[in-house]
Amino acid sequence: MFNAKYKLLKAFWILANIVILASATLSNGKLGEFEEYQKFTNESLLWAPYRSNCYFGMRPRYVRDSPLVLGIMWFNSLSQDGLHSLRHFATPQDKLQKYGWEVYDPRIGGKEVFIDEKNNLNLTIYFVKSKNGENWSVRVQGQPLDPKKPSTASVVLYFNQNGGEIDGKSSVAMIDREGPNDLRFLGYSEELGEYHLTVKDNYGHYFNNPAYETMEVAPGSDCSKTSHLSLQIPDNEVWKARDVFQSLVSDSIRDILEKEKTKQRPADLIPSVLTIRNLYNFNPGNFHYVQKTFDLSRKEGFEFDITYNKLETTQSISTKEQITELITWSLNEINARFDKHFSFTKGPDSIENVEIKRRFALEALSNLLGGIGYFHGKQLVDRETEFDESQFTEIKLLNAKEEGPFELFTSVPSRGFFPRGFYWDEGFHLLQIMEYDFDLAFEILASWFEMIEDDSGWIAREIILGDEARSKVPQEFQVQNPNIANPPTLLLAFSEMLSRAIEQIDDFGSGSYKQEMFNGRTSKFMTNNLEENSDLLAEYAKKIYPKLLKHYSWFKESQAGLIDEYAEILEDEGIWDKIHKNEVYKWVGRTFTHCLPSGMDDYPRAQPPDIAELNVDALAWVGVMTRSMKQIAHVLKLTEDEERYAQIEQNVIENLDRLHWSEKDNCYCDISIDPEDDDVREFVCHEGYISLLPFALKLIPKDSPKLEKVVALMSDPRKIFSEYGLLSLSRQDEYFGKDENYWRGPIWMNINYLCLDAMRYYYPDVILEMAGDDGTAKKLYQSLKTNLSNNVYRVWKEQGYCYENYSPVDGHGTGAEHFTGWTALIVNILGRY
């Protein structure tokens, strides 16, 4: 409880700090404090591996023009075709046995592990920062998986100081080489200032065969010491570091082969042949490769540190002991923070089981946080292509133009498959992140809200900024279109944040409460009083209100459905007068088989599609948006607006019942005009996630008799209940498991989570292990919670990762692997529910 309040206060703080700059009404003293807080946020989140798509790739946050961009690659250079297995971008094709963060927090650091059998390498990368976040170290530590297998770990570090092309001043150059292997660079950029970057070995043996006089097979090609190449590469090509490396080394190989046509080259010299050298006599530039080739026939492996220190800092990270200390401190600190927010009770589990479940949960959360990236660049938008809404065929977006640059601070669904911002996923990510670090969740939310277009109110469904991000996206998904919507989950998350804040304002409006809360907290950012903060919350809401209103109106207008088509039918049914004509919606852009905008692509819809179709989930999402607007109006004390939204919310709720509830099917359904008889309202009923959405989004009145029916449906093992979670589509549905089988049975964490959350809302008793009768709801809640956790955990143990979804047949992981986007909501379920 104390933690919850503490977090709320932090929420006020962050809301407040965003507002403060715009607010002239505050005294200078306060301004100083708030700036200090903002400085803290900026500093603690400045450096992290924000290149989500890389196994390990860094760039600083909100450094737009002259970031230092860095990445790490590796391969086995004792293998002739080793270059093919050069690891760089996280991709399932690499078939690593395991990769990801065991412990991670972008404010602090973490530990990432790679098990790469093809390269015979067990690699650990530690990332740590100084306490103020300005200087940092990366420790690269590797061991052979099997020392009896001859192999090397050829590790390639690359980095570039961007901006030099434009300002001529940003640069990074080698200034010192201590012995053959320890390198020191001096860098400068307008935004970063001056810094040192050092690369220093701790232990390890370079590949060497003492039988040879030298390992150097050509001038500069020598694997027995660190290779370094500096050259100029345009900023926007830096992300192609792997391709450039491969082609430079391939050219070098060709050159070597030509010159030594007759000589028989022993296998031991291959690692030298596969090192980078300056074949073309490039002039040094801002781009650097540093390659180290370690012999993996020794069990102890190797270790080296990459350290960045700002120059004006008086102290710097200088020794390996300091780094070791920082690593220990960071890992302990993250573990402690984690335990502050989540608890793992013993229950029927043994102690070991509890401990390993906790480890699993920490890893899942770490990988969600480890996906957080900072993206900067242009996006492709097609504003010309018109949608012929009677066609229902796939519309090609061929009139794309680049817009921007924009920037986005976001987490991603999966580093290997989807390393970019997804509107539909992000709200779910925030529901998890806010339980660990409310401020961080808010930073992400605020960044997304910045993307709301001022004129139109639109936000793209996927935010793909720049070439690097685009390189991972199939062409047909690269271009965004301002007619296309997606479930507004960000407002779901915002609504959750506001609910807690409003609870605070309403319950603890008086100043006397604050003392108690601040006692024992030493943070200097915890000194403000709550009254002031709630005013400031209002200020932030005031600032964002016009933008959100635009977004809200855009959604309502662009996805508005046609109600007049139903006039006669509903008159005959005698309910026409009771329908709220303005609150009917459909997803624009569906095809015969798919409704991508709904987020549940192939979930069955009306067949054939009809222009008059109305989608129950689209209406439910408008309900969520409206509730969120209502809450903001409440915070702003805009009583009239609040009442207006309350009315719209009520209308949505009534329409859900009057238009979309099928008495015959006991279920919420899409509706359409019966293709055989256009005097009849057709209920398009497919029991599954879409029919559950009004429940999952808490839009059914608490006293509605329909609740019971929804619970019965969720509890029915012949339909959607399973040993592994709720199925997306009922086993009895004619489309169950058919065709693409994406949202036609597989179990998804996001909707399961909403359902559990809704059960806690409708039936507060379900969480009490002892009290009350063992009603259906309680049984459902307890068994669903257990089944979900057990299965995701079991799959992680067996398959090594979290998955995009899970098989309704045996629960195994399906869809994208290493999917710690919304699947990471399992952490809340395990540690909080």
Q: Which is nearer to ligand NAG, 45 or 86 (CB)?
A: 45
601 annotated active-site: yes
Residue 62 makes contact with ligand NAG by CB under 6 A: yes
Q: What is the DSSP string of 582-601?
A: T--B--TT--SS--GGGS-T
Contact window for ligand NAG (CB under 6 A) among 25-33, 36-44, 603-611, 638-646:
36-44
Contact window for ligand NAG (CB under 6 A) among 127-135, 239-247, 523-531, 541-549:
127-135
Q: Are strands 661-662 and 462-463 parallel, antiparallel or unpaired?
A: unpaired
Cα–Cα distance between 694 and 51 in angstroms, integer? 37
- Judged by CB under 6 A, the chain residues 456 through 485 that form the site for ligand NAG are none
Residue 135 makes contact with ligand NAG by CB under 6 A: yes
Binding-site member from 77, 130, 154, 208 for ligand NAG (CB under 6 A): 130
State in angstroms the smallest separation of the CB of 794 from ligand NAG: 8
Residue 160 makes contact with ligand NAG by CB under 6 A: no
Residue 84 makes contact with ligand NAG by CB under 6 A: no
State in angstroms the smallest separation of the CB of 581 from ligand NAG: 44
Cα–Cα distance between 200 and 179 in angstroms, integer? 10
- 3-state secondary structure string, 124-186? EEEEEECCCCCCEEEEEEEEECCCCCCCEEEEEEEEEECCHHHHCCCEEEEEEEECCCEEEEE
DSSP 3-state percent helix, strand, coil across the chain (nearest 5) = 40, 20, 40
State in angstroms the smallest separation of the CB of 62 from ligand NAG: 4
Tokens encoding 745: 């049975």
Binding-site member from 26, 145, 575, 767 for ligand NAG (CB under 6 A): 145
Phi/psi class of residue 635: alpha, beta or left (left: φ > 0; alpha: ψ in -120 to 50)? Answer: alpha
Residue 115 makes contact with ligand NAG by CB under 6 A: yes
Computed on alpha carbons and rounded to an integer, the radius of gyration of the chain in Å comes to 29
Peptide bond into 92 cis (omega under 30): no
Residue 393 makes contact with ligand NAG by CB under 6 A: no
Residue 134 makes contact with ligand NAG by CB under 6 A: yes
Which of 531, 601, 657, 674 is catalytic? The answer is 601
Contacts of 770 (CB under 8 A, 6+ apart): none
State in angstroms the smallest separation of the CB of 691 from ligand NAG: 22
Contact window for ligand NAG (CB under 6 A) among 126-134, 232-240, 347-355, 767-775:
126-134
Q: Which is nearer to ligand NAG, 726 or 754 (CB)?
A: 726
Binding-site member from 790, 815, 817, 833 for ligand NAG (CB under 6 A): 790
State the number of binding residues for ligand NAG (CB under 6 A). 24
Residue 38 makes contact with ligand NAG by CB under 6 A: yes
- Residue linked to tokens 């607010």: 23
Measuring CA to CA, which residue among 538, 628, 449 is closest to residue 16?
538
Residue 297 makes contact with ligand NAG by CB under 6 A: no
Please report, for residues 61, 195, 578, the alpha-carbon distance to residue 233 in angstroms, rounded to integers and kept in the order given: 22, 21, 66
Q: Which is nearer to ligand NAG, 478 or 786 (CB)?
A: 786
Residue 263 makes contact with ligand NAG by CB under 6 A: no
State in angstroms the smallest separation of the CB of 7 from ligand NAG: 21
Is residue 79 within 8 A of residue 85, CB to CB? The reply is yes
State in angstroms the smallest separation of the CB of 41 from ligand NAG: 7
Q: Which is nearer to ligand NAG, 123 or 699 (CB)?
A: 123
Residue 272 makes contact with ligand NAG by CB under 6 A: no
Binding-site member from 246, 322, 385, 662 for ligand NAG (CB under 6 A): 322
Distance from CA of residue 506 to its chain's centroid? 33
- 3-state secondary structure string, 696-743? HCCCCCCCCCHHHHHHHHHHCCCCCCCCCCCCCECCCCCCCCCCCCCC
Tokens encoding 58: 């860094």
Peptide bond into 808 cis (omega under 30): no
Binding-site member from 550, 636, 786, 833 for ligand NAG (CB under 6 A): 786
Q: Which is nearer to ligand NAG, 36 or 571 (CB)?
A: 36
Q: What angle do CA 670, 708, 729 make, to 5 degrees?
A: 45
506 annotated active-site: no
Q: Which is nearer to ligand NAG, 124 or 278 (CB)?
A: 124
Residue 723 makes contact with ligand NAG by CB under 6 A: yes
Tokens encoding 764: 């507060």
Residue 353 makes contact with ligand NAG by CB under 6 A: no
Site string for ligand NAG, 738-777 (x = CB under 6 A): ----------------------------------------
Cα–Cα distance between 582 and 305 in angstroms, integer? 62
The helix/strand/coil state of 632 is helix
State in angstroms the smallest separation of the CB of 423 from ligand NAG: 21
Site string for ligand NAG, 16-35 (x = CB under 6 A): -------------------x
Residue 783 makes contact with ligand NAG by CB under 6 A: yes
Cα–Cα distance between 243 and 119 in angstroms, integer? 19
Measuring CA to CA, which residue among 820, 700, 695 is closest to residue 749?
820
Binding-site ranges for ligand NAG (CB under 6 A) = 35, 38-39, 42, 62, 115, 122, 130-132, 134-135, 143, 145, 313, 315-317, 322, 723, 783, 786-787, 790
Residues tagged active-site: 601, 804
